[in-house]
A and B are shown apart, each in its own frame.
Chain A
């Protein structure tokens, strides 16, 4: 039984923290890789509608976003009214600007990626279909046919 003799040393031995940096670094790299910095400031109200039959938008680098909603905040509402406005990148835009926006988005991508480009329409629940239809028509003119109506996932 001498093989299993009790450790004479009293008290618990200290836990080695030498591998702690490794664990933390592992977590750090995970978050560094998954993080996406938000590059646009929201200028419009944007509560997305709910839906169940949704698809994931893959490859975020190939997605251009069009935001639609009434101006966000009281000051902007005073300045621009409450009518729904379009936001492209960081500024308000008109419907006519969409074609040049799509062209600019295309130019910033590699040529082989252009057919994969998707336009995500992020419209507020209170937006009327008139403006959305106008945008769809402009997208057709710009030959950007793949669209995605952005929604929140509903819990069934």
Chain B
């Protein structure tokens, strides 16, 4: 009975901080803060039964981009620098039937990207980046015109609406040897 009366001695928590620090430093060292970023794409469904669409007579709605094995660009049968691709694609997409050589409307326009097997990955990503940038800028312009907000700041349904006006249609043919 006498034992119960005695108060339990306090546990010394002075070293608690040291233990926590040790763990903290371990996780600080092992942690990687970098978030993975990249260009998102969706591959087309593999379907042998589907006939390729007839593109004859539809040439104005197709923006042909070729990248050869020396990383040179050929856009609509003319050589082009990568710096001009973004504006070229924007002009093509946002033509709305004005110039007979360019697209009827952004939702009909298709960008056809053909690369060689020898094209460097760096160049391919640069081209993809410029084409994506063209679409993003057009969507942004439209979003600002309509709602005075950037595309990314819009609510989901409004984003969908803008996406429908400027659908990203990048078609990739199997790479050739040129």
Contact = CB atoms under 8 A, between A and B. Distances in A.
Interface of A: 17, 20-21, 24-25, 27-28, 31-32, 34-38, 49, 51-57, 60, 63, 68, 118, 120, 123-130, 132-133, 136-137, 139-141, 143-153
B39 A54 contact: yes
Most buried by B among A35, A126, A129, A140: A129
Given A49-B121, A53-B129, A145-B43, A17 B17 contact: yes
Contacts, number: 145
A147 B40 CA distance: 6
Contacts of A128: 117-121
A118 B128 CA distance: 18
Given A147-B42, A149-B128, A56 B136 contact: no
B125 interface: yes
A31 B125 contact: no
B41 A147 contact: yes
A125 B122 contact: yes
Interface in B41-70: 41-46
Nearest to B20: A24
A70 to B, nearest CB: 12
Contacts of B37: 54-57, 150-153
B100 to A, nearest CB: 30
A17 B128 CA distance: 55
A34 B38 contact: no
A31 B38 contact: no
Interface string B106-144: 000000000111111110111011001100100000000
A24 B21 contact: yes
B33 A127 contact: no
A148 B120 contact: no
Interface in B125-173: 125-126, 128-129, 132-133, 136
Interface residues of B, number: 43
A55 B175 contact: no
Given A53-B39, A126-B121, A140 B30 contact: no
A129 B36 contact: no
Given A24-B17, A25-B20, A148-B38, A139 B121 contact: no
Contacts of A63: 36
Contact of B45 (A20, A31, A129, A140): A140
Contacts of A149: 38-39, 41, 125, 128
Given A24-B17, A24-B20, A140-B46, A129 B118 contact: yes
Given A51-B126, A53-B39, 14 more contacts: A20-B17, A28-B24, A28-B27, A56-B37, A60-B36, A125-B120, A127-B121, A129-B115, A129-B119, A140-B46, A143-B45, A145-B45, A149-B41, A151-B39
